[in-house]
Amino acid sequence: MGRHLQVAIGQYSDPGRKEQNQDFHGVCVPPEPQLSAKGIAVALADGISSSPVSQQAAQAAVSGFLEDYYCTPDAWSVKKSGEQVLTATNSWLHSQTRHSPQRYDRERGYVCTFSGLVIKSTTAHLFHVGDARIYRLRGGELRQLTEDHRVRVSSAQSYLARALGMDCKLDIDYLALPLLAGDVLLLATDGVHEYSDADFVAQSVCEAADLDAAAQAIAAEALRRGSGDNLTLQLVRIDELPDPEANEVFRQVAELPCPPLLDARDEFEGYQIMRVIKRSARSHIYLALDRESGERVVLKTPSVDLQANPAALERFLLEEWIARRINSAHVLKPCAQTRQRQSIYVVTEYIEGRTLTQWMIDNPKPDLATVRGILEQVAKGLQAFHRLEMIHQDLQPDNLMIDSSGTVKIIDFGATRVAGLEEIESPIAQINLLGAALYAAPEYFLGEAGSQGADLYSLGVIAYQMLSGSFPYGTQAAKSRSKAAQKKLVYQSVLNEEREIPAWVDDAIRKAVHPEPLARYEELSEFIYDLHHPNQAFLNKTKPPLIDRHPLIFWKSVSLVLGVLLLLSLLTRTHGLH
């Protein structure tokens, strides 16, 4: 059996010398598969003493974080999940203050400090705002990991600079750091950490019968040293870090065999193979009949060439994992798995239609309205990926299907990058599957990671190809492997005498496929909007010279003028001789 994430937890909270305990704390250790997918969440909050409702704020902050974090998509990174949850909590607390009798005095509103952490795989993710603290105890050394958000006016006077609910906007610190077995993470409110001694903390953790006893001993020592505030302390000891195969995808790679090569009429795990759709170096794709439901489905198995490649098999299985988390009419849907699998394969819906590649062959000169409609559907599918912090990375006409009703669907996720899965340690080397070179964003050729802007670039290239039959930089973009080379790329206008395309549509495509990622649109929706509506910024710009707009026409004109001049010169010389 492989190792799994195992921790020991100790907690203690007491009003101390105050009548009311305005601190709140909590821990959530979920069962599998959430333990691998989302990790363990720990949080504490400290209500400000000047507010009569700050204890409610502290409770709402901790409870909300521990509940809502696990409701965020598995595909999201811990950072995005935590920040989204805390931003929503901050907005709610600030709104509560604005609608309360304390709305003109934020020192008496729904305000609290917050310190929390998520332990996922072999990494601790810290979220912090206020003056509570998070420490790490390793090898007897106590190290503070967070900074106090408190402004010191004098040695005797200070005020809280940042806290949950204090303002409509939240500025929260985030830190990710690797863990070792034996590490102890300590979360403490200021009533504890301002009166604690590092050696005493280390000694208490090492000598106490359990971590609850250690937490109580450290809080008691802070009280003995003169603390006049509430006392709350949490200790989390890392007893065991997980083997990467604890993740469901890795388990399937390790446990399930690859299926044999299949052919028409073969019976396979409750499916009858009807015909081979496609065989490639990565996979074998079949049209099959599900004997249980009677439905036609697409059955996909790993290529026989990849059956000894664990990284490729992992990537193959991730396609289904991705598909099950995306809900969009423009993304291929996986079929429900009703039988226990005996080998590695995936089953998806069957789309009766044609690829965009074939569609472009059948429609070499589509009208602009049809092109816009197709691009808008693809953009909606991509937005479903981006909302889950997924980058498709391989958008090309072969990976787009158009069914009989005209609905466009993204059908291949083999190169998709998932932020949430990048945080899970794996013994299997992650492979970087670069998409088709003519559609890949220039930054990929520099070895840079893709972003949403890279998917936008690919969509822009497809738009250009649908309108012109060619590519915005010819084949040069795929050959440009340095910044210097990419700066020399010259966009070839999609405008020509054979097609009635507005200049502002060309400008929109030009911006979408700009070699520099920061010069492209920030959102897919902006690009789609500009394909439908003239962007005033494009209309107001200085008209570029003819050589840039129509280089072929420019050189033909130059040649014509030179020819005329040469003819006149010859005529003049001939006349002179006579």
C-alpha torsion sign, points 290, 293, 295, 298: negative
Of 20-24, 228-232, 537-541, the least confident: 537-541
Instruction: Tell me what pLDDT residue 429 has.
Output: 47
In angstroms and rounded to an integer, the radius of gyration of the C-alpha atoms of the chain is 31
pTM for the structure as a whole: 0.72
Backbone φ/ψ region at 39: left (φ over 0), alpha (ψ -120 to 50), beta: left
Higher pLDDT: 545 or 404? It is 404
Task: Give me the pLDDT at residue 100, please.
Answer: 75
First-to-final CA distance of the chain = 105
3-state secondary structure of 172: coil
Let me know: does 304 contact 298? Beta carbons within 8 Å.
no
Q: Cα–Cα distance between 34 and 424 in angstroms, integer?
A: 12
**What one-character-per-residue DSSP string does 299-319 give?**
EEEE-GGGTT-HHHHHHHHHH
The type of residue at 167 is: D
Least confident of 140-149, 183-192, 335-344, 482-491: 335-344
pLDDT of residue 542: 53
Query: What are the structure tokens assigned to 226, written together?
Result: 């003169």
* Domain spans of the chain, in order of start: 6-242, 248-349, 353-541, 553-578
Q: What is the pLDDT of residues 436-469, one digit of tens each?
A: 899 999 999 998 888 999 999 999 999 999 999 9
Integer Cα distance of 233 and 10 in angstroms? 8
- Of the given ranges (115-119, 141-145, 286-290, 477-481), which has the lowest mean pLDDT? 477-481
Instruction: Give the Cα separation of 170 and 163 in Å (integer).
Output: 8
Q: Please tell me the least confidently modeled range out of 347-356, 525-534, 547-556.
A: 547-556
Is the pLDDT reported for residue 254 higher than 70?
no
Q: Where do runs of H (alpha helix) occur along 326-446?
A: 356-362, 368-387, 419-422
Peptide bond into 33 cis (omega under 30): yes
The DSSP letter of residue 445 is G
Say how far apart CA 460 and CA 382 lie, in whole Å: 13
Supply the angle between the helices 78-98 and 54-68 in degrees, to the nearest 10.
150
- CA dist 412 → 318, 526, 528 (Å): 11, 25, 22
Kindly report, residue by residue over 264-315, the tens digit of the pLDDT: 999 999 999 999 998 888 889 999 999 999 999 999 999 988 877 887 888 8
pLDDT of residue 431: 47
Q: How far is residue 422 from each of residues 117, 122, 390, 417, measured CA to CA in Å?
A: 18, 12, 11, 8
How far apart CA 232 and CA 216 sit, in angstroms, is 9
Whole-number Å distance between alpha carbons of 193 and 202: 13
Q: What is the pLDDT of residues 374-390, one digit of tens each?
A: 999 999 999 999 999 99
Q: Which of 241, 247, 180 is nearest to 3 (CA)?
A: 241
What is the CATH superfamily name and number for domain 248-349? Phosphorylase Kinase; domain 1 (3.30.200.20)
Region for residue 130 given its phi and psi (left: phi exceeds 0; alpha: psi -120 to 50; beta: otherwise) = left
pLDDT computed for residue 62 by the predictor: 97
C-alpha 391/C-alpha 337 separation (Å) is 26
Q: Which residues of 3-40 are buried (b: 16+ CB within 10 A; e: fewer)?
A: eebebebbbbbbebeeeebbbbbbbbbeeeeebbbbbb
- pLDDT beyond 80 at 253: no
CA distance 498 to 424: 53
Provide the 8-state DSSP code for 392: -
Angle between helix axes 368-387 and 452-468 (nearest 10 degrees) is 170
* Dist. CA 348–CA 323, nearest whole Å: 9
Q: Which two tokens stand for residue 256?
A: 């399930």
Residues 210, 10: contact at Cβ < 8 Å? yes
Give the right CATH number for 353-541 from 1.10.1660.10, 3.40.50.10700, 1.10.510.10, 3.40.1350.10: 1.10.510.10
Distance CA 323, CA 289 (A): 21
């405008």: which residue's tokens? 495
Q: How many CB atoms are located within 10 Å of the residue 435 CB?
A: 23
Q: What is the DSSP letter of 100?
A: S
Q: 280 versus 504: which is more confidently predicted?
A: 504
pLDDT tens for each residue of 404-429: 999 999 998 888 888 887 777 665 54
Q: Considering the chain, what is the average pLDDT of its residues?
A: 89
Half-sphere exposure for 312 (CA within 13 Å, toward CB): 13
| 8 Å CB contact between 206 and 215 | no
CATH class of 6-242: alpha beta
- Mean pLDDT, residues 180-207: 94
Q: 283-289: long-range contacts at Cβ-Cβ below 8 A with a sequence spacing of 24 or more?
A: 283/316, 283/414, 286/262, 287/350, 288/347
Q: Where are the beta strands (DSSP E) in 415-501?
A: 417-418
- pLDDT higher than 80, residue 64: yes
Cβ burial, residue 325 (10 Å; 0-12/13-18/19+): middle
Averaged pLDDT for residues 505-518: 96
| Percent over 70 (pLDDT), the chain | 92
State how far the Cα of 474 lies from the Cα of 493, in Å rounded to an integer: 11
CB 54 within 8 A of CB 48: yes
Q: Could you give the CA distance from residue 295 to residue 293 in angstroms, rounded to a whole number?
A: 5
Is 305 or 541 the better-scoring residue by pLDDT? 305
Residue 79: is its pLDDT beyond 90? Answer: yes
Mean pLDDT of 75-85: 92
Q: Percent of the chain, pLDDT > 90?
A: 65
The contacts of residue 54 (CB under 8 Å, 6+ apart) are 22, 47, 48, 110, 111, 112
